A and B are shown apart, each in its own frame.
Chain A
Amino acid sequence: MARSVANARGGPRERDETDAARGEESPADRSGPPALAIDGLTKRFGEGDDAVTAVDDVSLTVERGSVVGLLGPNGAGKTTLIKCALGIVIPDAGSVRVFGTDVRDGRRTAYADVDAMLEGARNDYWRLTVRENLRYFATISGVDPDSVAARHDRLLDRLDLADKADTPVRDLSRGMKQKVSLASVLAGGAELVFLDEPTLGLDVESARTLRAELRRLAVEEGLTIVVSSHDMTTIEAVCDRVVMLSNGRIVADDGVEALLDAADRDAVRVASPDLDAETVAGLRESFEILDVDREARPPAVTVAAGGDRFYDVADALRAAGVTVSDVRTVQPDLEEVFLERTGTASDASLGGESP
């Protein structure tokens, strides 16, 4: 059954679109040094008792052409890690190499191939038009804007901004502003792009479009993208690989599918008006009950039932005289993987308050 129906957040995911793009992925240029190589990066803020270790001895390599997600709650160190990689924050220890160039030593040359969309920032000039922004920031990142005019047209086309090319950014909707910000980051042809919470504050529809576009851009433009987010949906939809951060440390680093598979928690959620306490108690004797939702209409129970165990569940339900209204498979999402890895209780879920 499709994973989409089992999404904990309710809304369907745009797996189909992004999965299609994922399938097309051509083997990216893997020659030469990796796009990003972080080694033993440590950054502390403050001094003495108040000191906070934002990033704690993190090592990470991102191959060219891959899309890597940095997942973790606010305060996990995602933004600091990105800012260190950009040279905006100077680390206390460790090194960052971008396409083989040390960010600290040869910053200027490293900058030519890197750009970033930082969380909560406008990143562009609202009083200039969309196209003026692309031209300006292409120049700032070292590219003659006339030589990439065709690329800018293509970017605007893809991001559905072509009609708005000559509109000042301030007159656009929030979702469009976010897309302009993304376009301005891509305008100079940076090959390694950091996107910090790219869908933050967007409505469901805009976030969905942006995610789909991110995936397409990564594939078609051969970009290396590092996306940080506390939103699982974004990471699952866009990334090949997830690096989970908690308290400044990496707690998991693997492919999205691998992480989900490793969680091995395939289950079915059965809904029926016949599911009373007695029936559930009966099921509990033979099966692992993961969740009982008595508030649901009709009530529902989630039973661990990977593979052929499903038939046993069905038999047991029939024996108990339960008429099933709805059955869904429940697959783990990254949130569960994350909670498992960090051992955090679910009330300390992702997306907590900023530090």
Chain B
Amino acid sequence: MSADATPPEEPATEGTGDAARAGDDPRSATYYHLARAVLYREFLIFVRYPANAIGGIVVSLFFFGALFLGGQLLAGQALTDSIEGIVVGYFLWTLSVGAYSSVSNDIGSEVQWGTLERHITTPFGFAPVALLKGVAKVVRTFITSAVILAAMLLITGTRLSLAPVTVVAVAGLSIVSVLGLGFAAGGVTVLYKRIGNWLNLLQFGFVALISAPVFDLPWTRVLPLAHGSAMLQRAMVDGVRLWEFPLADLALLVAVALGYLFGGYLVFQYATARARRLGVLGDY
């Protein structure tokens, strides 16, 4: 900050440098302005280009339809008995894929567009921007996945407990861990641009995590999604409410979410720092 260029009446904060220019009265942006800008951008792109979201919904439903109808042919009654679990699992999977790929693809695109550097060289620092973008992606993913869930319930004629607070809290915290993986993958993409596409295959691994045998192998609960998936099954299939879960379960859910988010962000941070040393940040 060129403090001497800042008139005395201006608070000595960032970004007030051109106050001297006629007709301008630049004020520093606060985190509120930052949040508004980032979320508004996501919103604009979501409503202005609905084809992306609709395309995702259609593809997801097509796969689910194939899975359900094919399963009915092959397994018959056995499938119908476990259909609730499958619907819940598929719902969580679409959420995870949405959160993961939107974050990692977003980073990849921003590298390509040259906009990533502008977010890294912001006076706010990249972390709050990234976090806000993550929030926006999660909200967006919830909207599309809710449509998919509604359609699945209609197709299969299943009933589930849909207590909004419980479902959003448990599913939301579950996919925060995936968001962390998305940041890590995005960081790897910054360093090794070609690997980025391959990392998209990771999302099929989420199926394994969602169906992890947490009762037989309790350690799998610390993996992303696994513990949250088990809790979401209980919430949606058995109707367990958020406050009815043991405190330890909730604590583990939060810990896993934050742990992976933080870890993923560290990987991203490390990758961009390395990219800056190697000079590959901002290579198009």
List residues of chain A with CB under 8 Å of any chain B CB. Answer: 29, 31-33, 43, 45, 54, 80, 83, 86-90, 99-101, 107-116, 118-128, 132, 135-145, 147-148, 150-151, 154, 168, 188-191, 221-222
6 closest residue pairs by CB, A with B: A121-B114, A142-B15, A99-B2, A112-B14, A189-B18, A139-B37
Q: B28–A113 contact, CB under 8 A?
A: no
Given A32-B5, A88-B121, A144-B30; A136-B37 close (CB under 8 Å) = yes
Q: 18 other contacts beyond A121-B114, A141-B123, A190-B17, with CB at 8 A cut-off?
A: A88-B276, A89-B276, A100-B2, A109-B1, A111-B122, A113-B15, A122-B114, A127-B44, A139-B29, A139-B33, A139-B37, A140-B37, A140-B124, A142-B15, A142-B28, A143-B16, A145-B37, A222-B18
Q: A137–B23 contact, CB under 8 A?
A: no
Q: B113–A121 contact, CB under 8 A?
A: yes
By beta carbon, the residue of chain B nearest A83 is B282
**What is the predominant secondary structure among interface residues of chain B facing chain A?**
loop
Q: A118–B117 contact, CB under 8 A?
A: yes
Query: When the two chains form the complex, which single residue of B15, B30, B45 contacts A127, counting CB atoms closer than 8 Å?
Result: B45
Q: B44–A222 contact, CB under 8 A?
A: no
Query: When the two chains form the complex, which single residue of A111, A112, A121, A143 contacts B27, counting CB atoms closer than 8 Å?
Result: A143
Query: When the two chains form the complex, which single residue of B1, B21, B115 contacts A125, counting CB atoms closer than 8 Å?
Result: B115
Per the bound structure, the CA–CA distance linking A90 and B120 in Å amounts to: 13
0 or 1 for each of B109-148: is its CB under 8 Å from A? (1 = yes): 0000111011111111100010000000000000000000
By beta carbon, the residue of chain A nearest B129 is A140
By beta carbon, the residue of chain A nearest B4 is A32
User: Is B34 part of the contact surface with A, judged by Cβ < 8 Å?
Assistant: yes
0 or 1 for each of B158-194: is its CB under 8 Å from A? (1 = yes): 0000000000000000000000000000000000000
Q: B21–A112 contact, CB under 8 A?
A: no
B residues 1-60 in Cβ contact with A at 8 Å: 1-2, 4-5, 13-18, 20-21, 23-30, 33-34, 36-37, 41, 44-45, 48-49
Per the bound structure, the CA–CA distance linking A120 and B111 in Å amounts to: 12
User: Is B63 part of the contact surface with A, judged by Cβ < 8 Å?
Assistant: no
Per the bound structure, the CA–CA distance linking A168 and B41 in Å amounts to: 13
When distances are taken between beta carbons in the complex, the residues of chain B under 8 Å from A115 are 118, 121
When distances are taken between beta carbons in the complex, the residues of chain A under 8 Å from B284 are 118-121
Per the bound structure, the CA–CA distance linking A99 and B4 in Å amounts to: 9
Per the bound structure, the CA–CA distance linking A144 and B18 in Å amounts to: 13
Shortest B276–chain A CB gap in Å is 5
Which of B4, B20, B26, B129 lies at the interface centre, i.e. has the most chain A CB atoms within 10 A of its CB?
Answer: B26
Q: A137–B28 contact, CB under 8 A?
A: no
Listed by A's residue number, 22 A-B pairs whose Cβ atoms lie within 8 Å are A32-B2, A86-B121, A90-B273, A90-B277, A112-B123, A115-B121, A121-B113, A123-B118, A124-B115, A125-B41, A125-B113, A132-B41, A139-B37, A141-B15, A141-B123, A143-B27, A148-B24, A148-B26, A150-B24, A151-B21, A189-B18, A190-B17
User: Is B279 part of the contact surface with A, judged by Cβ < 8 Å?
Assistant: yes
Shortest B115–chain A CB gap in Å is 7
Per the bound structure, the CA–CA distance linking A142 and B10 in Å amounts to: 14
Q: B282–A150 contact, CB under 8 A?
A: no
Shortest A72–chain B CB gap in Å is 17
Q: B279–A54 contact, CB under 8 A?
A: yes
User: Is B281 part of the contact surface with A, judged by Cβ < 8 Å?
Assistant: yes
Q: B41–A112 contact, CB under 8 A?
A: no
Per the bound structure, the CA–CA distance linking A295 and B122 in Å amounts to: 56
Given A108-B14, A123-B113; A144-B27 close (CB under 8 Å) = yes
By beta carbon, the residue of chain A nearest B284 is A120
Q: A112–B37 contact, CB under 8 A?
A: no
User: Is B251 part of the contact surface with A, judged by Cβ < 8 Å?
Assistant: no
Q: A222–B123 contact, CB under 8 A?
A: no
Query: When the two chains form the complex, which single residue of B24, B30, B41 contacts A136, counting CB atoms closer than 8 Å?
Result: B41
Per the bound structure, the CA–CA distance linking A122 and B111 in Å amounts to: 10
Shortest B122–chain A CB gap in Å is 5
When distances are taken between beta carbons in the complex, the residues of chain A under 8 Å from B28 are 142-144
When distances are taken between beta carbons in the complex, the residues of chain B under 8 Å from A107 are 121
By beta carbon, the residue of chain B nearest A135 is B37
Query: When the two chains form the complex, which single residue of A89, A141, A150 contacts B23, counting CB atoms closer than 8 Å?
Result: A150
Given A32-B2, A32-B4, A123-B114; A89-B281 close (CB under 8 Å) = yes
Q: B282–A118 contact, CB under 8 A?
A: yes
Q: B114–A113 contact, CB under 8 A?
A: no
By beta carbon, the residue of chain B nearest A223 is B18
Query: When the two chains form the complex, which single residue of A31, A88, A188 contacts B120, counting CB atoms closer than 8 Å?
Result: A88
Query: When the two chains form the complex, which single residue of B30, B33, B117 contacts A86, counting CB atoms closer than 8 Å?
Result: B117
Shortest A324–chain B CB gap in Å is 51
Per the bound structure, the CA–CA distance linking A142 and B25 in Å amounts to: 13
When distances are taken between beta carbons in the complex, the residues of chain B under 8 Å from A83 are 279, 281-282
When distances are taken between beta carbons in the complex, the residues of chain A under 8 Å from B21 are 151, 189, 221-222
Per the bound structure, the CA–CA distance linking A144 and B37 in Å amounts to: 10
Per the bound structure, the CA–CA distance linking A139 and B36 in Å amounts to: 9
By beta carbon, the residue of chain B nearest A143 is B15
By beta carbon, the residue of chain A nearest B23 is A150
Q: A109–B45 contact, CB under 8 A?
A: no
